[in-house]
Amino acid sequence: MSDIADKVKKIVVEHLGVDESKVTPDASFIDDLGADSLDTVELVMAFEEAFSVEIPEDAAEKIATVKDAIDYIEKQKAA
């Protein structure tokens, strides 16, 4: 796994208080990890802070799974 993926996973574990083993790439924040809408906003803000990226509202809405988050951040970092 990339550094970004590791860091994303760590943030998810920290913010949602879920077991690390549950944070698989396909895990949905809401359906699998028990997040509510406020959690997802907080997660996006945590990603923004940790990676120094800006995630606009329309992009944030599309981030539903762990993999979505990793892909988005990797793309921003590569650009």
Active-site residue 71, yes or no?
no
d(CA 72, CA 27): 15
Q: Distance between CA 65 and CA 71 in Å, rounded?
A: 10
Single out the residue of 77, 52, 75 nearest to residue 62, CA to CA: 75
Question: Which C-beta is closer to another protein: that of 6 or that of 14?
Answer: 14
Binding of residue 20 to another protein (CB under 8 A) = no
- CA–CA distance, 61 with 42 (Å, rounded to integer): 13
48 binds another protein (CB under 8 A): no
Q: Rule CB under 8 A: is residue 42 a binding residue for another protein? A: yes
30: contact with another protein by CB under 8 A: no
Q: Which residues bind another protein (CB under 8 A)?
A: 36, 38, 42, 45
List the catalytic residues: 36
